[in-house]
Amino acid sequence: MITSIFFDLKRHVAGLFICLKSWQILNDQKIRLIAFIVILFLSNLAFSQNIIRGKVVDKNNKSPLEGATISVLKTNTVVVANEQGEFKISNIQKGNFVLKVSFLGYKTEKINVSTETTSELIIELEVNEIMNEEVIISANRANDKTPATFKNISSVELQKINTGRDIPFLLNATPSAVVTSDAGTGVGYTGIRIRGSDLTRINVTINGVPLNDPESQMVYFVDLPDFASSVSNIQIQRGVGTSTNGPASFGASIHIQTQKLNSMPYAEINSHYGSFNTFKNSLLFGTGLIGGRWAFDGRLSKITSDGYIDRATSDLKSLYLSGGYYGEKNILKFNVFSGKEITYQSWYGVPEDSLKPHRTYNPYTYENQIDNYQQDHYQLVWSSEISKSWAINAALHYTKGKGYYEEYEDTNALYSDTKFADYGLKDVVIGTDTIKKSNFIRQRWLDNDFYGITFSANYYHPKKKFQAVFGGAWNKYEGDHFGKVIWASYASNGFPTSDYYDNTGIKKDFNIFLKLLYAPFKQIKLTDPENTTFKGRVKLVASNINLFVDMQYRQVDYSFLGLDENLNNLQQSAALDFFNPKAGISYNGKNSIVYASYSVGNKEPNRDDYVISKPSARPKPENLQNVEAGYKYIAKKISFSINWFYMNYTNQLVLTGKINESSEYIRVNIPKSRRQGLEADLKIGLTKNLILMADGAYSLNKINAFTEYIDNWDDGGQMAIEHQNTDISFSPPLIASLSLSYAPFKGFNAVIFTKYISSQYLDNSSDKSRMLKAYNATDLRFYYSIETNFVKEILFSFSINNIFNQLYESNGWTYRYFYGGKYYNDNHYFPQAGINFMGGVGFKFR
């Protein structure tokens, strides 16, 4: 060790001497500064003669293991593999050494090396199939043997595109995905649809814990800004997928795993700035392994933006803290993540007649027309290896959410509630005049608590013949909904302290599931010409065929304040039991995977469906039967997949314009509807530095028959129109994307990404006067990483979004009515920003 320290000291002193000699020649201060940096860098190179280079990869799939630790035994030298799995050990003396290579979840290897070796080492690590952090979330995940349609996205991929946009925009390259932003920028309120299903029908989990709001079943990623900076990987399963916790998956499921162990201490600072005065700043830090057992990580982020739409501002703050114990047989982690958002409302969209003259029009002008909400998440996750074949996992979780949105209700507005009676207040009498309406400022509050436990037990047959996962969850949600009037043009009784509505929803959700994956043994004849004793003998090995069975039982109990048969608001309840079976088969060849599956999913109505319906007219649960069949080919330079899907819905809930006895618009069960189509995903290495990626989806999305109801303003009633074989709303038949990635030298990457979305309808009538036009948007991204002696890595990123300045709308809503003998459409759209940019720099320290 003393010899090593002396060698390093001698190298740096010599480097400094060269710098000082060169310094005498230069006079200009700026030139001196540049020269100092250049010469110091060159002097380091000059004395770094003994170098060991290598790459650490997974033994099975040859994928790089970013973060693998390489230590030189009997020295203090420790390095960490980069995102390509590559490492370099510099400034080492001549001789023979032993490298100890380790990575969490893999068996540690010791490699004998020599400084005389000139070729790059390829170090293959074998997976420790039981004890690693992947087992924590494996109960909800599909793998290459599972007959399911899925896509994995790594933290490396996320890092290159994470400039502050919400998670939906980071998943835009997913087949059948359409993303949208209320503010038009990807910051603030955002959404994603996969196979035409929005986030109320997409199951989302974080470390296996449900993220969907249990009542509305919606996911608001705005409550977790910059969460992607703390994500290790994301798996997107399309269709019903495998059994999971929380609301049913009716279009897809998104499973997020938070940051895994960083074995070395680190710190990272990132700062981004872009169009519409958008700022993103984040600080990440970690202790690495302390005493070989403990590690702590954290992140602080702040994002602000003026938005593309007028006044669609966002002020977002978030944090992530994690501490864990990593033993030989146990992992215990405590995660805390929180988000605070204040956004100016842009939920209304832009009226159709305002798109051309004022594309960024926002009808809200009240200065405090904001959404103000905070959500805090706590997770205690435990994983234990019981034996070489058994592992168990459990997670206790608690989520606290509290906030409100404030709005100004104007008596002149078309859809406003401005009567005193709407707020349980008495009319105001001034002299002989009775005032029934007033302008109001109101706040609508939500104060909720969500807590529970998730669990799983994983079994692996020693010869990989059989795998089983038994798991489930028990969760409880308590949501307090109440409203306050904080100002009115005319004061009335009970103002401003009383709540004009106050009700609590309580929902209990219990599920258990069992997943079985079985690879039947096959016989292989053993032959050896030189050994006759082998003659006629056979060996049993696992076959390439995998049989999959997945059975889930789910029970839902919901208590809510809703209408009774006499239209009075009373506390009521609903209890539902679901059985969701799934089965499939897959064949895994050398480079190919073929699979087919049949799945059943059942989904309960949401809060509004229950609250505004009478017991005799309660909506029925939705049922989905899903068939998936696909083929995957994976090789070194090319990989592609193609799959066919058929999704048959019974009692799907949709808006038809129908109202209840209280004149509230309700969702109605449609007896039969369906989605079917083809999806494809392709990746080709055209050259060593040029990669082509593409995905596409073509689908037919149909409702067999339904009745549309249109308000008749002439007589105050509704008109009924029968429809046959219409298109399901927000379901474009063609979605395609193409990207070219160019990496001419190490650390640099340029990507051009373009996506096409065909036309889609705003409702289920297939009326072309109520639709979103087809659009195509193209982005250009640059990413450059530099390793230095002063900072481990400097990251530069720059993106130009919508480089051709396409004017398009990605979302909208419509209201149709009949007046004066004519039909009218009140269409509203959500325009997305034209050409805009975002650039940033990050510094990584180790």
pLDDT in tens, 656-674: 999 887 778 899 999 999 9
- Per-residue confidence at 328, pLDDT binned at 50, 70, 90? confident
Highest averaged pLDDT of the listed ranges 269-278, 326-335, 461-470: 269-278
Q: What is the per-residue DSSP string for 645-664? A: EEEEEEEEEEEEEEE-TTS-
Q: Are 564 and 614 in contact (CB under 8 A)?
A: yes
Q: What is the DSSP letter of 106?
A: B
**Strands 52-58 and 121-125, how do they pair?**
parallel
* pLDDT of 33 above 80: no
State the Cα–Cα distance between residues 635 and 523, nearest whole angstrom. Answer: 28
Candidates 308, 365, 303; CA nearest to 340 is: 303
The two three-digit tokens of residue 161, written as one number: 């595109």
**What's the mean pLDDT in 56-80?**
82
pLDDT category, 113, cuts 50, 70, 90?
A: confident
Helix (H) or strand (E) holding 584: strand 569-588
The more confidently predicted of residues 430 and 258 is: 258
User: 551: which strand partners?
Assistant: 514, 581
Distance, in Å, from the CA atom of 564 to the CA atom of 513, rounded to the nearest integer, reads 35
Q: What is the pLDDT of residues 448-507, one digit of tens each?
A: 999 999 999 999 887 768 899 999 999 999 999 999 999 988 877 766 667 888 999 999
How high is the pLDDT of residue 21?
A: 43
For residue 32, what is the DSSP state?
Answer: H
Residue 636 has pLDDT above 90, yes or no: no
Q: How confident is the model at residue 5 (pLDDT cuts 50, 70, 90)?
A: very low
Whether residue 39 has pLDDT greater than 80:
no
- Name the band, by pLDDT with cuts 50, 70 and 90, for residue 66: confident
pLDDT at 92: 76
Q: Please list, in sequence order, all residues whose beta carbon lies within 8 angstroms of the beta carbon of residue 440, skipping any fewer than 6 positions away.
A: 408, 409, 417, 418, 423, 485, 487, 488, 489
Q: What does the pLDDT read at residue 42?
A: 42
**CB 795, CB 841: distance < 8 Å:** yes
Q: Which residue, 696, 804, 828, is CA-closest to 350?
A: 828
Whether 485 and 441 have beta carbons less than 8 Å apart is answered as: yes
Of residues 91, 120, 219, 104, the one with CA closest to residue 166: 219
> Is residue 407 scored above 90 in pLDDT?
yes
What value does the mean pLDDT take over residues 436-454?
94
Is 789's pLDDT higher than 90?
A: no
Strands (DSSP E) along 713-764, which ranges? Answer: 718-727, 734-742, 748-757, 760-761
| Torsion 391-591-158-846 (CA) sign | positive
User: How large is the average pLDDT for residues 781-799?
Assistant: 91
Token pair listed for 655: 């808006």
pLDDT of residue 418: 80
Beta-sheet strands, E only, within 330-389: 330-344, 350-351, 370-385
| Residue predicted with more confidence, 395 or 117 | 395
Alpha-carbon gap, residue 422 to 419, rounded angstroms: 5
> Which pLDDT belongs to residue 539?
56
pLDDT of 3 reads 38
Q: How far apart, in whole angstroms, are the C-alpha atoms of residue 126 and residue 79?
A: 20
Q: At 140, is the secondary structure helix, strand, or coil? A: helix
Structure tokens at 126: 């074998």
- pLDDT tens readout for residues 285-299: 999 888 878 999 999
Average pLDDT value for the chain: 88
pLDDT value at residue 20: 41
Asked whether 615 and 565 are in contact (CB, 8 A), the reply is yes
Place 262 in a pLDDT band, splitting at 50, 70 and 90: confident
Burial (0-12, 13-18, 19+ Cβ within 10 Å), 410: middle
Q: How confident is the model at residue 230 (pLDDT cuts 50, 70, 90)?
A: very high
Q: Is the pLDDT of residue 531 over 60?
A: no
Determine the Cα angle at 588 with ends 586 and 592, to 5°.
Answer: 110
- Long-range contacts made by residues 689-692, C-beta under 8 angstroms, separation at least 24? 689/742, 689/743, 689/744, 690/740, 690/741, 690/742, 690/743, 691/740, 691/741, 691/742, 691/743, 692/738, 692/739, 692/740, 692/741
Nearest to 15 by CA among 37, 38, 46: 46
Helix (H) or strand (E) holding 425: none
Q: DSSP E strands: which ranges in 489-568?
A: 499-518, 521-525, 538-542, 545-563
> Of 827, 809, 740, which Cα lies nearest the Cα of 772?
809
For residue 100, list its beta bridge partners.
Answer: 71, 110
**Average pLDDT over every residue of 825-833:** 96
Task: Give tens-digit pLDDT for 708-760.
Answer: 999 999 998 999 999 999 999 999 999 999 999 999 998 899 999 999 999 99
CA distance 78 to 50: 15
Residue 521's φ and ψ, nearest 5 degrees, are -70, 150
Which residues are registered as beta bridge partners of 510?
Answer: 474, 555
Q: How far apart are CA 210 and CA 255, in angstroms?
A: 9
Give me the pLDDT at residue 10, please.
41
Give the HSE-up count for residue 748: Cα atoms under 13 Å, Cβ half-sphere. Answer: 7
Q: pTM for the complete prediction?
A: 0.84
pLDDT higher at 164 or 253: 253
Q: Which two tokens stand for residue 722?
A: 């029968």
Whether pLDDT at 525 is above 60: no
| Alpha-carbon torsion angle 430, 431, 434, 440, nearest 10 | -10
pLDDT band per the 50, 70, 90 thresholds, residue 395: very high
What is the C-alpha separation between 619 and 607, in angstroms, rounded? 11
> Which amino acid is it at 814?
T
Which residue matches tokens 């060169």? 22
Confidence of residue 321 (pLDDT cuts 50, 70, 90): very high
